[in-house]
Chain A
Amino acid sequence: METLTKLIEFSSEISILEISYLLASILFILGLKKLSHPATARSGNLWAAAGMGAAILFTILFHKKDGAPISNVIYIVIALAIGSFIGWYSSKKVKMTAMPQMVSIFNGMGGACAALISLMEFPKMQNMMASEGVAHMLGGEGIAILLGLMIGGVSFAGSMIAFGKLDGRIGDFKHPVLRIINLTFLVGLFVALALILFMKPVEGNNLPIYLFALAALIYGVTFVMPIGGADMPVVISLLNSFTGVAAAMGGFLYGNQAMLTGGILVGSSGTILTILMCKAMNRSLLNVIIGAFGVAGAAGTEDGDKTVKEISLSDAAVLLSYSQKIFIVPGYGLAVAQAQHLCHELDNLLASKGVEVKYAIHPVAGRMPGHMNVLLAEADVPYEKLVEMEDANNEMSNTDVVIVIGANDVVNPAAEDDPSSPIYGMPIIKALDAKNVIVMKRSMAAGYAAIPNNLFYHQKNRMLFGDAKATLQKLVAEIKSL
């Protein structure tokens, strides 16, 4: 039996390989560290990439298995070239608003890669064990292979569904039965994993592992299916850490330190990042996964006797032009309408009239935490104009107008004053502390959480209905003509 503890006879090539893995691990760690500070983030990304490049190159050059070097080098290089080209091309082409989808796809590819590795290694292991006449397949190798397959498969299928949802190709499918199915599936997967491990290895008996892979894929689909589209960022972050763990399983299998450290680092930091994201929404991870949010929110009904006030474009133009200080609260609607450039045009125009314009950024605005910052950065909005929620709230009381563009739940006062509301306790941007509020919205429809928003009915607020992009365009024209 091939175990990982077998003695490796000294070879300088192996030493160089191991040193390159150590180097790669150090670069991954430093890269992640640098990625968490704005000033060093970009170089951090390059450092990690350099570590990856070194690990790949030295693996091809110096990796040995039972003394045999890597063969099929030409095919490997071709595959690397194809993957590099597609990866490079698609990530250069993708629009900034579609970034979350892209990350989701790439994550899925990594998961699929991990699952494929397991799918190829299992038959090899089984055949070898069968020829040795071992009674069962329980052991580090078997566990690593099956976990890698399961987690990788779930991550792949889940990422594809998350991609579909973010791209608007797949709708939400909520049904209480799905929860039971999911739980059964999850338990079933672990039971199946144990059963396969205790199976007597028989040469060529690969059906169980294929069924297991299929079950993992199905679970990936049913796991993400009931989770609302607005929660996809959290799901992607979670699946990202899954893929990390799947990669680490590969590292365990091959006794490969670079894979092990890289995978586990992503697994643990990804989990923390997921929890940070949930915290920003004041929800627990379990709550996101089970999807209690949408169900509870649907129960809240709206009294029909409240009225909203509308504001005309010209009134809005005048109000904005003669204000001293304005906060723009951008939300998902702005991203969908791709109106960030127009938004910046509006803010430039107002600034030229002596109005102080800033952006109040809720931590979970947009499709991913920090996504709004990326989108506004793309539209050349200066860094200093982006104000984080807490600082923005402190400045609200001396703000003349708050313009809410395509945001809803992040400005819903129910989070502060209605303990029965499902979002009660979530930190919000306190738009009502300002003197006036203008909400730009397509219709009176509730946000993702399906929670009525009393801000819309407040006397300080006036609505400007229409598509964010079209409305902003008209508003800019109106202000210019003043």
Chain B
Amino acid sequence: MDEVLKFFLEYKDMIFIIVLSVFLGIEVISHVPAVLHTPLMSGSNAIHGVVIIGAIIVMGHAESTLSLILGFIAVILGTLNVVGGFVVTDRMLEMFKKKKK
């Protein structure tokens, strides 16, 4: 029990962020019309590309050639996720706009 409490105390800021973000995520998209399900999925797909920051940190502090190479690959993969995700979403939404005129 002590261990759990210690764990909570040690990471309490992050636990707060996690819990609040969970509710926020649910709240923010709960009224989305079915038309936007696909673009929304694609857009949120791009947002989790934020993992690229971790890849940059690993690569930026790489100590061996191996981790530099792996980091290099990770940054490429992350960028694919980010750039591809946002561009694909934009292409989908572009069409919605066009047809409104």
Give chain A's interface residues, CB within 8 Å of chain B. 3-5, 24, 28-29, 31-33, 35-38, 41-42, 44-46, 48-49, 52, 55-56, 59-60, 63, 65, 68-73, 75-76, 78-80, 82-84, 86-88, 90-92, 94, 96, 99-100, 102-103, 105-107, 109-110, 112-114, 116-117, 119-121, 124, 139-140, 236-237, 240, 243-244, 246-248, 250-270, 272-273, 276-277, 280, 361, 363, 368-371, 373-374, 377-378, 380-383, 386, 388
Sampled A-B contacts (7; CB under 8 Å): A42-B94, A71-B62, A80-B75, A269-B28, A269-B44, A374-B96, A386-B35
CA distance A90 to B86 in the complex (A): 12
Across the interface, do B76 and A79 meet the contact criterion of CB distance under 8 Å?
yes
Tell me the minimal C-beta distance from B63 to chain A in angstroms: 8
Instruction: For B37, give its contact among A250, A266, A273 (CB under 8 Å).
Output: A273
Residue of B nearest to A373 (CB): B35
CA distance A236 to B85 in the complex (A): 14
CA distance A368 to B42 in the complex (A): 11
Residues in A whose Cβ lies below 8 Å from that of B76? 79, 82-83, 86
Give chain B's interface residues, CB within 8 Å of chain A. 7, 10-11, 14, 17-18, 21-26, 28-63, 67-68, 70-100
Across the interface, do B71 and A120 meet the contact criterion of CB distance under 8 Å?
yes
Given contacts A99-B42, A263-B48, A272-B29, contact A114 B84 (CB under 8 A): no
Given contacts A103-B41, A269-B29, 12 further A-B contacts (CB under 8 A): A4-B14, A32-B29, A37-B36, A41-B39, A41-B96, A48-B47, A59-B53, A65-B61, A87-B84, A106-B85, A240-B48, A361-B34
- B contact patch SS: helix
Residues in B whose Cβ lies below 8 Å from that of A381? 99
Across the interface, do A83 and B90 meet the contact criterion of CB distance under 8 Å?
no
CA distance A110 to B82 in the complex (A): 8
CA distance A246 to B24 in the complex (A): 18
Across the interface, do A272 and B37 meet the contact criterion of CB distance under 8 Å?
no
CA distance A36 to B41 in the complex (A): 10
Given contacts A4-B11, A48-B47, contact A91 B91 (CB under 8 A): yes
Give the most central of A5, A80, A255: most B CB within 10 Å. Answer: A80
Residue of A nearest to B44 (CB): A266
Tell me the minimal C-beta distance from B79 to chain A in angstroms: 3
Across the interface, do B53 and A38 meet the contact criterion of CB distance under 8 Å?
no
Across the interface, do B51 and A114 meet the contact criterion of CB distance under 8 Å?
yes
Residue of A nearest to B60 (CB): A70
Given contacts A35-B39, A42-B90, contact A120 B58 (CB under 8 A): yes
Tell me the minimal C-beta distance from B67 to chain A in angstroms: 5
Across the interface, do B43 and A120 meet the contact criterion of CB distance under 8 Å?
no
Across the interface, do B21 and A82 meet the contact criterion of CB distance under 8 Å?
no
Instruction: For A268, give its contact among B26, B81, B87 (CB under 8 Å).
Output: B26
Instruction: For B14, give its contact among A84, A252, A363 (CB under 8 Å).
Output: A252
Give the most central of A109, A264, A381: most B CB within 10 Å. Answer: A109
CA distance A388 to B58 in the complex (A): 47
Tell me the minimal C-beta distance from A175 to chain B in angstroms: 29
Residues in B whose Cβ lies below 8 Å from that of A36? 28-29, 31-33, 36, 40
Tell me the minimal C-beta distance from B34 to chain A in angstroms: 4
Residues in A whose Cβ lies below 8 Å from that of B89? 35, 45
Instruction: For A272, give its contact among B11, B25, B77, B86 (CB under 8 Å).
Output: B25
Given contacts A32-B43, A280-B34, contact A264 B25 (CB under 8 A): yes
Instruction: For A71, give its contact among B33, B60, B96 (CB under 8 Å).
Output: B60
CA distance A323 to B77 in the complex (A): 53
Across the interface, do B55 and A113 meet the contact criterion of CB distance under 8 Å?
yes
Across the interface, do A117 and B55 meet the contact criterion of CB distance under 8 Å?
yes
Instruction: For A247, give its contact among B31, B48, B74, B77 (CB under 8 Å).
Output: B48
Across the interface, do B99 and A383 meet the contact criterion of CB distance under 8 Å?
yes
Residue of B nearest to A48 (CB): B47
Residues in A whose Cβ lies below 8 Å from that of B62? 71-72
CA distance A377 to B97 in the complex (A): 9
CA distance A303 to B37 in the complex (A): 38
Tell me the minimal C-beta distance from B99 to chain A in angstroms: 5
Give the most central of A120, A121, A240: most B CB within 10 Å. Answer: A120
CA distance A39 to B38 in the complex (A): 15
CA distance A388 to B95 in the complex (A): 18
Across the interface, do A116 and B77 meet the contact criterion of CB distance under 8 Å?
yes
Given contacts A79-B59, A257-B17, contact A368 B86 (CB under 8 A): no
CA distance A260 to B22 in the complex (A): 11
CA distance A63 to B54 in the complex (A): 11
CA distance A411 to B73 in the complex (A): 47
Residues in B whose Cβ lies below 8 Å from that of A120? 58, 67, 70-71, 74
Across the interface, do B83 and A83 meet the contact criterion of CB distance under 8 Å?
yes
Across the interface, do A76 and B86 meet the contact criterion of CB distance under 8 Å?
no
CA distance A257 to B20 in the complex (A): 12
Across the interface, do B77 and A83 meet the contact criterion of CB distance under 8 Å?
yes
CA distance A42 to B93 in the complex (A): 6
Given contacts A370-B34, A388-B34, contact A114 B54 (CB under 8 A): yes
Across the interface, do B56 and A60 meet the contact criterion of CB distance under 8 Å?
yes
Across the interface, do B81 and A107 meet the contact criterion of CB distance under 8 Å?
yes
Across the interface, do A262 and B88 meet the contact criterion of CB distance under 8 Å?
no
Residue of B nearest to A28 (CB): B47
CA distance A140 to B10 in the complex (A): 9
CA distance A262 to B83 in the complex (A): 15
CA distance A100 to B56 in the complex (A): 28
